[in-house]
Homo-oligomer: A and B are copies of this chain.
Amino acid sequence: VPELPDLSDLHQGCRFIELPVRGDERGSLIPIEEGSGAPFDIRRVYLVLGTTEGTARGFHAHHRLWQLAIPVAGACTMVLDNGALRRKVRIAEPHRGLLIPPMLWHEMEDFTPDCVLMVLADGPYDEADYIRDYGRYRQLVGGVAEVGE
């Protein structure tokens, strides 16, 4: 079992969450609810699947939304960027969720063809909560703005 990387240098709210696995001779069951796996009330779930080869997606941060990303099948790489530090983590185990706090830029890449990424979120979809411009994101987090921003 590989050790989980410490991600607190990126953001104090960013971390892996070890989900409980109830396993027996039938197989596995992973329950996720407030207080058991998810550190928030689940208001929305979305699935990213059928991602085409070479595709990267994400490229945003949220003002307020918390998300828990769980690779329920296959694997992908999460690129996390706080405006000053950029790290890549491979997520590949359905019992290890990655908690993505607000105000952390994230991208996803290197999806396996079978990857199904399940994301739990603590709020409904709200386009106004997205920061889609990296230069603006850096300004907001206090980094140096891109030339031309």
Query: Which residues of A are in contact with B by a Cβ distance under 8 Å?
Result: 23, 25-34, 38, 41-52, 55, 57, 72-73, 94, 111, 114, 116, 118, 120, 124-125
Contact = CB atoms under 8 A, between A and B. Distances in A.
Contacts of A47: 28-30, 32, 72, 94, 118
A25 B50 CA distance: 10
B49 A32 contact: no
Nearest to A42: B42
B43 A26 contact: no
> What 8 pairs across the A-B complex have the smallest Cβ distances?
A27-B51, A33-B44, A73-B73, A30-B47, A27-B50, A31-B46, A28-B50, A26-B55
A27 B46 contact: no
A60 to B, nearest CB: 13
29 contacts: A25-B55, A26-B55, A27-B49, A27-B57, A27-B111, A28-B47, A28-B49, A28-B51, A29-B49, A30-B46, A31-B45, A31-B46, A31-B125, A32-B46, A33-B44, A33-B124, A33-B125, A34-B43, A34-B124, A38-B45, A42-B42, A42-B43, A42-B44, A42-B45, A47-B94, A72-B72, A72-B116, A72-B118, A73-B73
A55 B26 CA distance: 6
